[in-house]
Amino acid sequence: MSDRFGKQILRKILPQRALEIGKRGMARGRLDRAERALRGAAEGPNWLDPSMIDALARRYPVTRGLEPASAPSPNREEARRTIRQCGEGARTVLEVGGGPGLVSWGIAETGRLATCIDILDEFHPGAVAAGVRPVVGDGCAMPFSDDEFDAAFSYNSFEHIHEPRAALMEMARVVRPGGRIHVAFAPIYNAPLGLHAFLEFGIPFIQHLFREDDIRPRVTSPDLWNLNHWPLARYRALWDDVEATGRLRRVAYSEERDFGGVELIAEFPSCFAKISRDIDEFIMSKLVVTFEVA
């Protein structure tokens, strides 16, 4: 490669890299300010006046592109990830809390026998037509035999399940020894979008800034309130707890951060300090864990 050509490439690459480094530095600075404010926060006020909702809504408008798809389709991308985690050899796969069964739909397309259980009867006809077996039932007390499945998974559902430990142990019961359980979900309640009111509000952390009575009249979907409110620390303790039973062995684990709106922690630290002074509680959003059944 000629020196001239190499210099041309560098002129294109270096500004982009400098921009990326600058963005990381700005994010780090915002996070550091939030962390310092949280550690030194006063005991109050714990909530903002509801008159501030409209001002913050203008500052943080609803993000477009989050609307539900007009024509739901199989979630093939998540299906591929799930199969990788559960093992290519898994032929009978159970989804817990699958709603319309879009991930199960993607799995069924691979020729596997997919079953989807949900407490609501909202299964998509396309998923059923593709071969997904729909079952209406409670993921914490499932109507399946011991060792009935090669693998089980749950996608974006555990933050809604009020007894996650019971659900995990039920999954361990119905999956054969050596099979895997894969759980991936976001956002957890304390994260920036933890209220799940994506279509009504773009305000990060609104669930910590304003009282529920001030927010509820503006949220149209009652399903958004069906959350378990578990903090990060409780989930971390749960993984250790279920491993201690000897029934499950953790084989993979990750936590993903969301720094959206972290500047609000620095602005209104006492609203967050009432919950925790650990910044991780608010920036960790997605949890992904895979267990092997003993």
pLDDT (tens digit, 9 = 90+) per residue, 140-171?
999 999 999 999 999 999 999 999 999 999 99
Tally of domains in the chain: 2
Please identify, among 185, 202, 226, the residue that sits at the C-terminal boundary of a domain: 185
Rounded CA-CA distance 142/135 in Å is 9
pLDDT of residue 22 exceeding 70? no
169 C-beta neighbours (distance < 10 Å), count: 15
For the chain, how big is the Rg over CA atoms in Å?
A: 22
Rounded CA-CA distance 155/98 in Å is 7
Instruction: Return the DSSP state at 50.
Output: G
Paired strand residues for 40: none
Q: Do residue 146 and residue 203 come from a single domain?
A: no
Q: Do residue 28 and residue 173 come from a single domain?
A: no
Please identify, among 140, 164, 185, the residue that sits at the C-terminal boundary of a domain: 185
Q: Do residue 84 and residue 47 come from a single domain?
A: no
pTM value is: 0.89
Find the mean pLDDT for residues 102-130: 97
Task: Give me the CATH number covering residue 129.
Answer: 3.40.50.150
Q: Do residue 62 and residue 80 come from a single domain?
A: no
Please identify, among 153, 185, 217, the residue that sits at the C-terminal boundary of a domain: 185
Find the mean pLDDT for residues 266-284: 97
239 C-beta neighbours (distance < 10 Å), count: 17
Q: How much is the pLDDT for 63?
A: 79
Query: 21-35, 96-110, 141-155, 273-287: lowest mean pLDDT where?
Result: 21-35
pLDDT tens-digit readout, 88-97: 999 999 999 9
pLDDT of residue 44 exceeding 80? yes
pLDDT tens-digit readout, 55-99: 999 999 997 555 555 578 999 999 999 999 999 999 999 999 999
Q: Sign of torsion, CA 208 213 218 223?
A: positive
Where residue 124 falls (left for φ over 0; alpha for ψ -120 to 50; beta otherwise) is beta
Q: How much is the pLDDT for 64?
A: 59
Q: Do residue 194 and residue 274 come from a single domain?
A: yes
Q: Range of 174's domain?
A: 76-185
Q: How much is the pLDDT for 28?
A: 81
Q: How much is the pLDDT for 18?
A: 43
Q: How much is the pLDDT for 14?
A: 47
Q: Do residue 98 and residue 139 come from a single domain?
A: yes
pLDDT tens-digit readout, 187-205: 999 999 999 998 889 999 9
Cα distances from 253 to residues 41, 222, 236, in angstroms, run: 32, 32, 10
Q: Do residue 199 and residue 106 come from a single domain?
A: no
Closest Cα partner for 186 from 80, 257, 85?
Answer: 257
Percent of the chain with pLDDT over 90: 82
Closest Cα partner for 286 from 251, 235, 226?
Answer: 235
Find the mean pLDDT for residues 15-28: 54
Closest Cα partner for 205 from 257, 283, 286, 280?
Answer: 283
Q: Which amino acid is at 241?
A: D
Q: Which amino acid is at 279?
A: I
Q: Do residue 143 and residue 85 come from a single domain?
A: yes
Residue whose pair of structure tokens reads 């909202």 in the numeric block = 122
